[in-house]
A and B are shown apart, each in its own frame.
Chain A
């Protein structure tokens, strides 16, 4: 599929050949989005983060819709949003309507996702939709953006929306081949970029990136700096298919234990552990792979951005 124009700063920056960073914002069951905007401001201040993902009901929970925080982050903070959209809660009619609405509001990136099943969330008796899957959602965006129509070919009045669309890929997938083949389908129907789930294993990440090279589509590798031992231990124990390296876990635990009672020293020690783990990781990815950048999922861990991204 021929490349569509770069409508977003994210895709423009990637195509300029710069190694980019994206962040992640997570609206929850919020009427007040101050924490999202605060986090976005911290990302903006780094001058390194090109755009930030805004999640759409992660873990299947009923959260504030992602379109409004995306708009506010762009309007109030001036940071470009990557609008995560799952196919779990909307059929093709609602997806089309929302995408068009979001495009009118100036949203330029959409990350098409299947979404965690509602059976995992806080409304487990809900009826999930899944009218389209994430690949079909990418095709829908392609039709809207490239042809100016909906799924059925009905024309959009007043011009074509200008959006770049991305897809997800999971470097932790096992078996891996079906995952790689699936990404191929997504690229075939029009994905402009790929963002991956979090990776803790540098060799595995490099291998995965190598396998994705054949699709000739920019990949942002997902990394997850962790601001406490508790979060890391929870992640390790409860997120299937992902294991946090034992040395990293141990170092976080030690950092907390050694600095008990001294908050600022504890924070500094935790940050040091993350920097010692992730800076060489990012450096290696930047130098030895064709990755277009890093998707840094340091949600609520804004203080790490500056020291982490310095000099990259």
Chain B
């Protein structure tokens, strides 16, 4: 899921200040915490109050979209209302905001949120944690399932660094686990320290450079093989 954080209301208001009719769109996709119809209504009401305090009228409608990052779903949900409004405020992650700006080219869509990271929610814990940086070169198979990109502040391929103390990381005040100590613990448990000990050469950051595109037929790594066999 994409972990998001609501922007300050002042910042959102500054973005929509030039407009008097706004459509506030929640997203029922993977955005966490949930930003659906209720959150859209609350945000719209807050913006209306803010406008009123400045002596302005703000007309709004709150709506939610199953997934703002899906062009067909987003377009069919939003297009019937577009003509009545002069701006959209999106409560999706940056993917949704980007998508609405693409499929609805007649008006601008503004972000109500900051997209933080791709993370997980562990029940019973009061935080979301980043587990994957979508680096394009997954190492989880050799690290005991712990990501050195998302889990290590220095993205080390051959950790730990000297900044770990009793298994905690120097970044953030020795609160967070050192991913490399965790890896060592797990690999030791499974008698696979051979994986820990190997030297990992410099990573290929070219595959991690924006903007990234992936053709549908490239979603499997044996593309070249399939092309040779003329299967694609």
Whole-angstrom distance from the CB of B26 to the nearest CB of chain A?
31
Which B residues between 157 and 191 are near A, CB-CB below 8 angstroms? 157-167, 170-172, 174, 180-181, 184, 188
Which B residues between 186 and 209 are near A, CB-CB below 8 angstroms? 188, 193, 196-199, 201-202, 205
Chain A 85-103 near chain B by CB (<8 Å), digits 1 or 0: 0001000100000000000
Chain B, Cβ-Cβ closest to A151: B202
A114 with B162: in contact, given A130-B156, A178-B184 (CB under 8 Å)?
A: yes
Q: How far is the CA of A131 from the CA of B172 in the complex (A)?
A: 21
Q: How far is the CA of A177 from the CA of B181 in the complex (A)?
A: 9
A168 to chain B: which residues have CB within 8 Å? 162
Q: How far is the CA of A140 from the CA of B159 in the complex (A)?
A: 17
Q: How far is the CA of A41 from the CA of B58 in the complex (A)?
A: 73
For residue A259, CB closer than 8 A to chain B, the reply is no
For residue B153, CB closer than 8 A to chain A, the reply is yes
**How extensive is the interface on chain A, given as a class?**
35 or more
Give the size of the chain B interface in residues (CB under 8 angstroms). Answer: 31
Residue of A128, A173, A188 touching B162 (CB-CB under 8 A): A173
Q: How far is the CA of A140 from the CA of B201 in the complex (A)?
A: 10
A131 to chain B: which residues have CB within 8 Å? 202, 205
Residue of B158, B163, B174 touching A117 (CB-CB under 8 A): B163
A181 with B154: in contact, given A132-B202, A170-B162 (CB under 8 Å)?
A: no
User: Is there an interface contact between B155 and A130, defined as CB atoms closer than 8 Å?
Assistant: yes
B154 to chain A: which residues have CB within 8 Å? 88, 114, 117, 128, 130, 133
User: Is there an interface contact between B158 and A135, defined as CB atoms closer than 8 Å?
Assistant: yes
Chain A 225-248 near chain B by CB (<8 Å), digits 1 or 0: 000000000000000110000000
A120 with B160: in contact, given A136-B201, A181-B184, A184-B197 (CB under 8 Å)?
A: no
A174 to chain B: which residues have CB within 8 Å? 165-167
Q: How far is the CA of A232 from the CA of B47 in the complex (A)?
A: 55
Max chain A Cβ within 10 angstroms of own Cβ: one of B161, B164, B205: B161
Whole-angstrom distance from the CB of B214 to the nearest CB of chain A?
23
User: Is there an interface contact between A139 and B164, defined as CB atoms closer than 8 Å?
Assistant: no
B199 to chain A: which residues have CB within 8 Å? 135, 139, 185, 188-189
B202 to chain A: which residues have CB within 8 Å? 92, 131-132, 136, 139-140, 151
Q: How far is the CA of A140 from the CA of B153 in the complex (A)?
A: 22
Chain A 186-198 near chain B by CB (<8 Å), digits 1 or 0: 1011000000010
B158 to chain A: which residues have CB within 8 Å? 133-136, 182, 185-186
For residue A179, CB closer than 8 A to chain B, the reply is yes
Chain A, Cβ-Cβ closest to B166: A174
Residue of A178, A189, A197 touching B160 (CB-CB under 8 A): A178
Q: How far is the CA of A174 from the CA of B178 in the complex (A)?
A: 11
For residue A175, CB closer than 8 A to chain B, the reply is yes
B155 to chain A: which residues have CB within 8 Å? 130, 133
Q: How far is the CA of A137 from the CA of B153 in the complex (A)?
A: 18
B196 to chain A: which residues have CB within 8 Å? 178, 181
For residue A156, CB closer than 8 A to chain B, the reply is no
User: Is there an interface contact between A240 and B170, defined as CB atoms closer than 8 Å?
Assistant: yes
User: Is there an interface contact between A133 and B165, defined as CB atoms closer than 8 Å?
Assistant: no
For residue A116, CB closer than 8 A to chain B, the reply is yes
For residue A268, CB closer than 8 A to chain B, the reply is no
Which A residues between 118 and 145 are near B, CB-CB below 8 angstroms? 119-120, 128, 130-136, 139-140
Which A residues between 145 and 168 are near B, CB-CB below 8 angstroms? 151, 168
A: residues with CB less than 8 A from B are 88, 92, 114, 116-117, 119-120, 128, 130-136, 139-140, 151, 168, 170, 172-175, 177-179, 181-182, 184-186, 188-189, 197, 240-241
Name 9 extra pairs, CB < 8 A, besides A173-B164, A178-B196. Answer: A130-B155, A135-B158, A136-B158, A140-B202, A168-B162, A173-B162, A178-B160, A182-B159, A240-B170
B: residues with CB less than 8 A from A are 153-167, 170-172, 174, 180-181, 184, 188, 193, 196-199, 201-202, 205
List 10 A–B pairs whose Cβ atoms lie within 8 Å, in order of A's numbering.
A114-B161, A117-B163, A128-B154, A136-B157, A136-B201, A174-B165, A175-B184, A178-B196, A182-B159, A189-B199
